[in-house]
Amino acid sequence: DYAPVSEVDDVGDSTDDDAPVELATADRDYLANWLNPVYLESNALTKLRDSFCEESSVQLHSFLRSDLAASVMATTMADDMTDELGADNAAGVNYEAGVRGGWRLVGPVHKQ
C-alpha cells in the first residue's frame, strides 16, 4: 500500500539548489513511523541537503524516534549479552555472533 517513490510536493526545478526540500504527504506519514519528527520538516531537510552538498556527508543525531531507538538499543544490548559481546568480554571476537533465527554467514569475515 505504500509506494516508496512518490512525487514530491512543489519543490520547483530539480536543478534549483536553493529550492526548499518538501516531502510528499504519503512519504512524511510513512516516515513518521520511524524517524524523529525534526527530520521530516522542510527546513531541516533543506539544511541537511545543503550540508551534504558542501561536505559530502552529514551526521544525523537522534535520527530514529526516541521510543523506537530505545527499543532497538534494548534489543541489541540483550543480543550482545547473549553473544557475550562488549567491553566486559575478554574472550575475544566471536565471528558467529548474531547467527541465529534464519541468519547465516556469507562471504569472508571482513566483508560481512
Number of alpha carbons in the 13 Å side-chain half-sphere of residue 79: 12
Our measurement of the distance from residue 25's CA atom to the centroid of its chain's CA atoms, rounded to an integer in Å, reads: 20
Average pLDDT over residues 87-96: 71
Distance, in Å, from the CA atom of 4 to the CA atom of 27, rounded to the nearest integer, reads 7
Is 90 exceeded by the pLDDT of residue 55? yes
Provide the whole-model pTM.
Answer: 0.63
CA–CA distance, 56 with 6 (Å, rounded to integer): 25
- The pLDDT-based confidence of 90 (bands split at 50, 70, 90) is low
Give Cα separations from 53 to 27, 48, 56, 84 (angstroms): 22, 9, 6, 41
Contact indicator for 101, 77 with CB cutoff of 8 Å: no
Distance CA 39, CA 37 (A): 5
The pLDDT of residue 20 is above 70: yes
